[in-house]
Structure 1
């Protein structure tokens, strides 16, 4: 059975048409809140509510303010399940965070969804309990299977995502077993964000430490210095993006110290197994992990091990992760094989080449990053689309001509140019298809055609953009679009 995120949508096919709301009608519709009634919200944080009120008051454009109020709290409103229980020790916090319209927890998505609130955790004990519960849940998931990307709420349940026939080592509690480097990086980043914001040692117990040791060991296994390693995956599917060649181990590589990733953050198979943006993320995430290991646990040995691996991968990236830009300079490649072969493209899912600064994996003023991001936002990238509705990056996961709002948000967050940011805000305002939320993707010429009406990560990232502009470009929020 074929499973892709775009296939799991309330309403029908991958290209959903908004419920009889043409663009003109959508624009004229009253801006009524799209949030669930307060009593039906999964979790209410006073600190988040205060942040919404504070920032919304600074947004002059009514529709942008409405979008922010709808999108920013979407994870807490609709996807967080607190205290669900899964055999955990009695009284310990637990939080299960689904991605939206799919009843599963992705390590990547759940981390990114909650990261947007981490600066508010010091102000809200209840919110800290959600973070503590999610960090613990992620640790238990990693110990179930560090190679899995998505997990079931019940750790004894079989997959509900059509993955039961995948030819891999499926375990109870695993929803999907696509090995992606970033699946382990994101929990490291979330732990660091929470520790930095709160200095609360509560989540960083022996179970968490064991899971992080297993995560680092998995990265080392996937350097594949001593053979193929334990992971293999094949799916009975007509799409080459859903399975791996050569008995499930992927394309051949020369072992150069980079970490193999069999799938991209989009859950699509890699062409070359050294996915450069994810290796760059691993470097920054391992150093973030080392900080928490050393400061929160006094684990000098663990921190030293994490930092040593980060340095090894960073050295390999310098040697093997770049390629000519065709204009006399160099850029980061998207994927390489260690033999000297490389591809250049970008995919909207973060970690992407464009999204490296969002993860602490590059400085957005770094010349190498600037050249790379500029090339990704151009016709040199086969997944950069220009239409009558907007311009932006998509990816193979949905198909041609489908722009991901995530790419527009990322482009705005990378920019210091007021004109560029204003254009991005205008595109985001006019491409939500009358729904009041961000989507996975929309058609470049018709935003009424979109995928995933409920995609909490994109909603949270839009909220982060508004908070980012409130800090560094408040005049842009005081304008109308």
Structure 2
């Protein structure tokens, strides 16, 4: 996930650290008491979410899975939302969990599980208004930044960012350029518009931020040199910095260069294919909102044109052949003919392309790619006594990210795969009732990040999805 970049966050956290004092959730048992904060200590309360939690929990047959859903689904609202007002309008600052900063990616993903409730829930519409507005203001501070401070005039208080060799503006917490950081606010805006048809958040500030995002994507096609962004960090891991400030050389081919992956790890080759595929989809979604919610045909046309250009480059340069012959999507390329195949659990990922709506789940190219990601062809695919799944360089070898299992279940076409993922998720929480960043493939009691709201929310999203699409599977014993 996005925001863990320091050594101390790579250390294993004791399983007991995840517990929070809380009342008992209605669907729990005395042996499995709720881990939610007490009602008076919750950061944001939504009656609509509470009703949805109770409705879905009643459909879950496995007691522990039901308990975990009760802890995880409301976790973003319970613990990470800070509501305020700016110029008399809602403002929502959504922290990532154990770091009190807002990541554009994480905050968008954290609230996604509540989008389907927003049309009939004024409290959620206020939350979405506030977050869409906050993200727009953040992008206008610096479209190259991935994380932001609550106080837009404050300097970063993240110890690992304070000495970075880059342009750190007030309000910026970390300045790792990641293509997906600008895609996720586009996705959130489109999701909110589709759910509500509410034009309120899409004001002039939002449109200005959208134009800044498109301009930044075009700069990072690097047709006229490296562009205005550079970044260097003194760190023992090479994944924390960019070679000479710009990363490895690329040949301009129409793709968008990314300094870092959605894990916040540096790209090997700057053309990160899953993020470019996501950019195509997100730009087209932006065009829908610009045209329908604002009547801004110029903005819509600009987004559509860039999406078409990147899509054409992806068709020409985005695939590769594995050693045994099959054609798959590459993970990263450089435009010179070099490519790397791997996958990282953080989304956008190759295995997450169907979940993101970037490919048809039945597309043979994606299916071959997904199968290769879940095999020894991917150096970050691990098997152990606790389970199997995809990890990434961020926390090192042997660490499986539950996020990869959730995405696999959300994209699966068969019940057996979903059931296997659910069993592993249930049995690798380290006894905490929450979803973590990663767990040791042989010992789930060794895990990273006891408070990771994106993963908790994604698990909740999976369970809600299964209640709607595979209710019999959810009710049956695992």
Q: TM-score, normalised by structure 2?
A: 0.95
Q: How does 1:17-56 map to 2 (within 5 A)?
A: 17-19=14-16, 30-56=31-57
Distance in structure 2 (CA, Å) of the matches to 1:363 and 1:463: 23
Q: Tell me which residue corresponds to 2:279.
A: 282
Contact 2:5 2:240 in 1 (8 A): no
Q: How does 1:386-401 map to 2 (within 5 A)?
A: 386-401=383-398
Query: Which digits, 9 at most, give the CA deviation of each residue in 1:381-425, with x for residues without a partner?
Result: 000000000100000000000000000111111112211111111
Whether 2:94 is the aligned partner of 1:97: answer yes
Q: How does 1:105-254 map to 2 (within 5 A)?
A: 105-162=102-159, 163-246=161-244, 248-254=245-251
Aligned positions, number? 465
Q: How far 1:227 sits from its partner (Å)?
A: 1.2
Q: How far 1:330 sits from its partner (Å)?
A: 0.8
Q: Relative to structure 1, is the Cα distance of residues 20 and 43 closer, same or farther in structure 2, using a 3 angstrom cutoff? A: closer
Whether 2:366 is the aligned partner of 1:356: answer no
Distance in structure 1 (CA, Å) of the matches to 2:370 and 2:397: 20
Distance in structure 1 (CA, Å) of the matches to 2:8 and 2:46: 29
Q: Tell me which residue corresponds to 1:312.
A: 309
Query: Which digits, 9 at most, give the CA deviation of each residue in 1:234-277, with x for residues without a partner?
Result: 0011210000112x011001100000000000000000000000
- Out of 387, 399, 406, the position equivalent to 2:403 is 406
Q: Relative to structure 1, is the Cα distance of residues 6 and 54 closer, same or farther in structure 2, using a 3 angstrom cutoff? A: farther
Q: How does 1:329-368 map to 2 (within 5 A)?
A: 329-368=326-365
Consecutive unaligned residues in structure 2, runs of 5 or more: 19-28
Contact 2:153 2:170 in 1 (8 A): yes
Q: What secondary structure sits across from 1:141 in the alignment? A: helix
Contact 1:273 1:337 in 2 (8 A): yes
Contact 2:254 2:313 in 1 (8 A): yes
Whether 2:268 is the aligned partner of 1:268: answer no
Contact 2:17 2:450 in 1 (8 A): no
Q: What secondary structure sits across from 1:95 in the alignment? A: strand
Q: How far 1:14 sits from its partner (Å)?
A: 1.3
Q: Tell me which residue corresponds to 1:301.
A: 298
Q: Tell me which residue corresponds to 2:22.
A: none
CA RMSD of aligned residues (A): 1.4
Q: What secondary structure sits across from 2:257 in the alignment? A: coil
Contact 1:348 1:394 in 2 (8 A): yes
Distance in structure 2 (CA, Å) of the matches to 1:120 and 1:312: 35
Query: Which digits, 9 at most, give the CA deviation of each residue in 1:345-377, with x for residues without a partner?
Result: 000000000111222211211111111000000
Whether 2:470 is the aligned partner of 1:473: answer yes
Q: What secondary structure sits across from 1:117 in the alignment? A: helix
Consecutive unaligned residues in structure 1, runs of 5 or more: 22-27
Query: Which digits, 9 at most, give the CA deviation of each residue in 1:29-59, with x for residues without a partner?
Result: 8110001111111111111111111111111
Distance in structure 1 (CA, Å) of the matches to 2:239 and 2:7: 14
